[in-house]
């Protein structure tokens, strides 16, 4: 079983930067980071160790990001994916964000 306090301390910055690289909005990245760890705590018993903890957390984060994009599409708010795609930032640079 994972010690989620340790997992949080070790990976919160990784998850936050990953989400920020997707959404480019600090507030949203913070909110989705919190939700990611909430979901991770709820499903910690299902983590089987077949991948790195960071991979597992980023998969949860990515799923939550997709849900947010769909939610915004349905609400009729500005589509985030178009904003992101219009930014000419190489994928490699997305993960080199300052903390």
Apex CA 32: angle with CA 30 and CA 36, to 5°? 115
- Tell me the pTM: 0.75
What's the confidence (pLDDT) of residue 2?
Answer: 84
CB 19 within 8 A of CB 29: yes
What domains can be seen in the chain, in order of their start residue? Answer: 4-94 (1.10.1740)
Model pLDDT for residues 21-33, shown as the tens digit of each residue: 999 999 999 999 9
What's the confidence (pLDDT) of residue 72?
Answer: 82
Model pLDDT for residues 44-90, shown as the tens digit of each residue: 999 999 999 999 999 999 999 999 988 888 877 655 555 555 555 55
């Amino acid at each position: 079983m994972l010690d989620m306090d340790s997992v949080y301390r070790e990976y919160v910055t990784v998850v936050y930067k990953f989400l920020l690289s997707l959404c480019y909005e600090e507030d949203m990245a913070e909110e989705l980071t919190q939700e990611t760890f909430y979901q991770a705590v709820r499903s910690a018993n299902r983590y089987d160790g077949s991948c790195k903890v960071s991979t597992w957390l980023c998969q949860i984060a990515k799923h939550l990001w997709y849900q947010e994009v769909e939610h915004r599409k349905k609400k009729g708010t500005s589509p985030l994916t178009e904003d992101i795609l219009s930014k000419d930032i190489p994928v490699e640079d997305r993960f080199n964000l300052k903390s």
